[in-house]
Amino acid sequence: MYLDLFDRNPYGTNCWLLAADGADQAVAIDPGFDPDAVRALLDREGKRLAAVLLTHAHLDHAGSAGTFAGDSPVYVHADDRSAFDDYARWGGSGETDLDRVRDLRTFVEGDRFDLGGYSIEVWHTPGHTPGSSCFRVTGEVVLFSGDLVFAGTIGRSDFANSDPAAMVTSLGRFLTLPDDVRVLPGHGPETSVGRERAGNPYLREAP
């Protein structure tokens, strides 16, 4: 597995680059900042961009997705699609809009993508935003958790379009995963389901 991380931005948002060993294409997850620097990581490894997957449409995860992707497709959950039409009205803070995306596509729960040499399954985990999603890599014990779960904490559910009750349900779903699943979050260091099950105080109220 080729896996790289870009997190040099004001929010410490993680952009993950994923490709199977030997694959010439890679998937970018949440390229919110500095498209040139993220592109340089791919170029260094001789990888071409297959697509961009967004865990959700907040500015720090999706802001530069359009510029970075160019003609490559950008995928976001259907419930967050409207952020690309009117970010402020959708629930985004501030006056900055998301970059224009040339090829914007949507996904829903259970969709699978064959990208970068992997099959990637969509887990719709709303709460942080209506369309917040995680990506589970088939055949690998890896989950890209977006802003659902971080090491020792969880994502916020107090934004204008958040849903605290849905967040609790989504956290319960997270806890159905085996303990050895690697969790690659939207912010902060890597963790695992077992580590969060044992020590994350915010998961105690999950069903």
pLDDT, one tens digit per residue, over 70-93 is: 999 999 999 999 999 999 888 876
* Per-residue confidence (pLDDT) for residue 207, from 0 to 100: 74
Given a cut of 90, is residue 64 above it in pLDDT? yes
Q: Which residue has the tokens 């870009």?
A: 6
Domain that holds residue 81: 2-203
pTM for the model stands at 0.96
Residue 190: predicted pLDDT: 97
Neighbouring residues of 88: CB distance < 8 A, sequence distance ≥ 6: 94, 95, 97
pLDDT classification of 95: cutoffs 50, 70, 90: low
CATH number, domain containing residue 185: 3.60.15.10
Q: How many domains does the chain have?
A: 1
pLDDT for 36 equals 96
Coil, helix or strand at residue 136: strand
Question: Is the pLDDT reported for residue 94 higher than 80?
Answer: no
User: Computed from CA positions of residues 42, 57, 207, 195, in that sequence, does the dihedral angle turn out positive or negative?
Assistant: positive
Nearest Cα to 60, choosing from 36, 34, 86, 39? 34
Per the prediction, the chain carries an average pLDDT of 95
Place of tokens 């912010």: 187
- Write down the pLDDT at residue 191: 98
CA distances from 173 to 34, 106, 115, 176 (A): 33, 22, 25, 5
Contacts of 62 (CB under 8 A, 6+ apart): 30, 32, 54, 56, 76, 83, 98
